[in-house]
Amino acid sequence: MLLAKRFIADKGLIDGIEVKIVEHNTNKGVAVARNTGMKAATGEYLFFLDSDDWLPDNSIQSLAHLVEKFPGVDIVAGNYHCTSPKHKWLDLRDKLFPEYVNDKQWILDHLLLPDRKGIYGTVTNKLIRRQMVLQYDMWFKEGGVVEDEYWKYMYADKWESMAFCLDYTYIYVTRENSLMTSMKDKTLLNLTMLSIYGVFLKKSLNFSKENYKNLLIKIQSLVSKYGIPDYKSYSVIYKQAMREFASYKKLPYNVRLCFYYMSLPRFFVRSKVLRLFFI
């Protein structure tokens, strides 16, 4: 904070741009900080920058150009330059998205695609229309983990239009000791994601077979992608969650049956279940 204050002139300006610092006396976490910032903001759009990362020259200008080109757009997503090759999938140039889309179903479909093909769900490197946030109370859940994933799934049905900027507007720095790369309690992360998926499945959304298939793959990947430090306790809760999902009456019968199969002891046999019901 002291470093940030050094860059601000006496009148609260940096290169003629008004800057406001809002601070907490104690560290209350990312979600609280973001909510506080959103409530204090007065501009038409919000932008989030994580402390580990940085912006190339003209980043905001490149994003704002699309706001001018497509007035009222809900979200403008910028392109990432990543310091680690394993995050190359964030590069929009490989995804062939249109420059602008105002189809809610298209946005939902592409949010549910696998990461390498779909819209990345992080809130960083996006201009987010502030009025949309205020209208739908799109706040971050405080006191938890995977804040971006919560925001993505809870409010995905509110995004009505998006624009995509192919210019690199964000430098994503991967650090080995960061929360997402070295979290010891990965079980907590998995269980949090399961609860998010559970709430998401209850939403009245227009899901296609492909949507359900992609969501099932995401749920199953919690087992293989992150690993299970405490397998016995996690496997019990995982199976309970799958049984709960299978009880959701609004879901198609074959989807509910697929969740039931995933609750069985041999739930690691994933591909056969998907082929049986969806392919």
CATH number at 56 reads: 3.90.550.10
59, part of any domain: yes
270, part of any domain: yes
Same-domain pairing of 162 and 270: no
- pLDDT value at position 67? 98
Q: Which residue has tokens 């609750």?
A: 263
Mean pLDDT (the chain, rounded): 84
Distance, C-alpha 169 to centroid of its chain: 18
- pLDDT value at position 89? 78
Same-domain pairing of 150 and 245: no
Above 60 in pLDDT, residue 228? no
CA 148 – CA 207 distance, rounded (Å): 22
Read off the pLDDT band of 43 (50, 70, 90).
Answer: very high
- pLDDT value at position 222? 76
54, part of any domain: yes
Sign of CA dihedral 4, 10, 12, 16: negative
Read off the pLDDT band of 151 (50, 70, 90).
Answer: very high
Q: Is 137 left (phi over 0), alpha (psi -120 to 50) or beta?
A: left
Give the end of a domain, one of 137, 172, 207: 172
Above 60 in pLDDT, residue 227? no
Same-domain pairing of 243 and 142: no
Same-domain pairing of 138 and 190: no
- pLDDT value at position 18? 75
Same-domain pairing of 209 and 140: no
Above 80 in pLDDT, residue 276? no
242, part of any domain: yes
22, part of any domain: no
- pLDDT value at position 154? 93
- pLDDT value at position 181? 46
Rounded mean pLDDT, 160-165: 97
- Residue 168 host element (H or E): strand 162-172
Same-domain pairing of 208 and 163: no
Give the end of a domain, one of 172, 205, 227: 172
Say if pTM beats, i.e. exceeds, 0.95: no
Same-domain pairing of 136 and 217: no
Rounded mean pLDDT, 221-246: 74
- pLDDT value at position 256? 92
**83-97, 135-149, 185-199: which is most confident:** 135-149
Share of the chain above pLDDT 70, in %: 80
Sign of CA dihedral 122, 112, 260, 262: negative
**35-39, 118-122, 200-204, 240-244: which is most confident:** 35-39
Above 70 in pLDDT, residue 60? yes
- pLDDT value at position 183? 47
Give the end of a domain, one of 138, 172, 206: 172
Same-domain pairing of 274 and 162: no
Same-domain pairing of 192 and 225: yes
194, part of any domain: yes
Above 90 in pLDDT, residue 152? yes
Residue span of the structural domain in which 243 resides: 183-278
- pLDDT value at position 184? 52
Residue ranges of the alpha helices (H) in the chain?
2-6, 30-40, 59-69, 104-112, 130-136, 147-155, 179-182, 186-202, 209-226, 231-246, 253-262, 271-278
Closest CA to 238 of 187, 183, 166: 187
Of residues 87 and 229, the one with the higher pLDDT is: 87
200, part of any domain: yes
**133-137, 226-230, 252-256, 267-271: which is most confident:** 133-137
Same-domain pairing of 165 and 197: no
Above 60 in pLDDT, residue 267? no
Same-domain pairing of 189 and 165: no
Read off the pLDDT band of 269 (50, 70, 90).
Answer: low
Above 80 in pLDDT, residue 79? yes
Q: How many domains does the chain have?
A: 2
Same-domain pairing of 94 and 115: yes
- pLDDT value at position 236? 80
